[in-house]
Amino acid sequence: MVVCGHTRPDGDCVGSVLGMTRALRCQGFDATALLADNNGGKGAPEPYRWMSGWSEYVHPCELEQQAPPNLFVALDTPELVRLSDARALCEAADLRILIDHHPASEGECFAELIYRDTEAAATGQIVWNLLGQLGWPRDAEIASCCYAALLSDTGGFQFANTTREAFAAAGEMLAAGAEPSTIACHLYGEKPLAALQLEARVLSRACLLNDGLVIHSYLSDADLQELGVGPDWTENLIDLIRPVAGSEVAVLITHGAKGPRVSLRSRGDTDVSAVAVAFGGGGHRLAAGISWPDKCATREEILEQLLPLLPGASE
């Protein structure tokens, strides 16, 4: 069987996949952790390579000569398209299971069995609770992976999805051996200088739009190449501009080889997932993303279409 998360994996995706893979192996199953894309042949994103099991990730191309998996476990992946290079393996599997905390999506019919909890702060929290319900042992390595997933998706327990249940699960993970200060240091306290220089560039470009209710910045692959920093370090850049006082929505536009990508964050009143859906994207109420439909669109053209749907838009 294979366990796979979405393309461009974040902390929740990596943590939940590695935690579930180890749990399955501890139960005697032949489980493989699968990357949805090859990340330039580098494997798991650099910020998460401290996690136990990351070096055992494989790319779908490495399984092409093998028989289709009997079971495909998709984590944190509400739509088939987000499995990217792993999509064909998923479709060929005998059985598909989806474990997720995203709202239901029209594209999720790829899974015969669905275990969803939209109230969970992270898919890693669902994995942790599910393993407990099954009565499976949860060792320190599983606890560390799930804690990293939870810590990542709550922004260090700062976001609105930080609930009593999230703290309760975190407490159980600590009791099982997860070390919070070590994990926090890995996630937030270890970055190459070039990554900090990229953060400085994003901050220097920040500007207020829509009468100050929208905070916006941007970057491109050219910035990454100039600074010598990999795309692995771009995941949380939008959180740099999110705290600007008076703003309600943060918008970060990234121009890459596959076209523009828009990241959206809300401080509470605006459902940015509804905005994202209007352009073929999706996500959560407070955090969403869009792979922009027009791959050649400029930043100005994107903002021209996006800003009318955001707070402070002119009538």
Q: What is the CATH number of the domain that holds 241?
A: 3.10.310.30
pLDDT at 106: 64
Total number of domains in the chain: 2
Residues 165 and 222 in one domain: no
For each of the chain's 315 residues, which pLDDT tens digit applies?
999 999 889 999 999 999 999 999 999 999 999 999 876 666 778 999 999 999 989 999 899 888 999 999 999 998 888 899 999 999 999 999 999 998 877 656 789 999 999 999 999 999 999 999 999 999 999 999 999 999 999 999 998 899 999 999 999 999 999 999 999 999 999 999 999 999 999 999 999 999 999 999 999 999 999 999 988 899 889 999 999 999 999 999 999 988 999 999 999 889 999 999 999 988 888 999 999 999 999 999 999 999 999 999 875
pLDDT at 30: 96
Residue 234 lies in a domain: yes
Residues 204 and 246 in one domain: yes
Question: Residue 264's closest CA among 282, 246, 244, 245?
Answer: 282
Residues 182 and 232 in one domain: no
Q: Where are the alpha helices (DSSP H) in 205-298?
A: 221-227, 238-241, 272-277
Q: What is the CATH number of the domain that holds 106?
A: 3.90.1640.10
Residues 25 and 168 in one domain: yes
What domain range includes position 290?
A: 193-309
Residues 177 and 197 in one domain: no
pTM for this prediction: 0.90
Q: Are 36 and 85 a contacting pair, CB within 8 Å?
A: yes
Residue 62 lies in a domain: yes
Residue 314 lies in a domain: no
Domain boundary residue among 165, 188, 211?
188
Residue 180 lies in a domain: yes
Domain boundary residue among 172, 188, 204?
188
pLDDT at 140: 98
Residue 315 lies in a domain: no
Residues 155 and 199 in one domain: no
Residue 150 lies in a domain: yes
Residue 299 lies in a domain: yes
Give the dihedral of Cα atoms 40, 198, 158, 310; nearest 10 deg.
Answer: -90
Residues 143 and 45 in one domain: yes
Residues 62 and 182 in one domain: yes
In whole angstroms, give the CA distance from residue 75 to residue 126.
10
pLDDT at 44: 79
Residues 178 and 201 in one domain: no
Residues 61 and 98 in one domain: yes
Residues 198 and 182 in one domain: no
Residues 178 and 207 in one domain: no
C-alpha Rg value of the chain to the nearest Å: 19
Domain boundary residue among 138, 153, 188?
188
Residue 208 lies in a domain: yes
Pair of tokens at residue 201: 């560039």
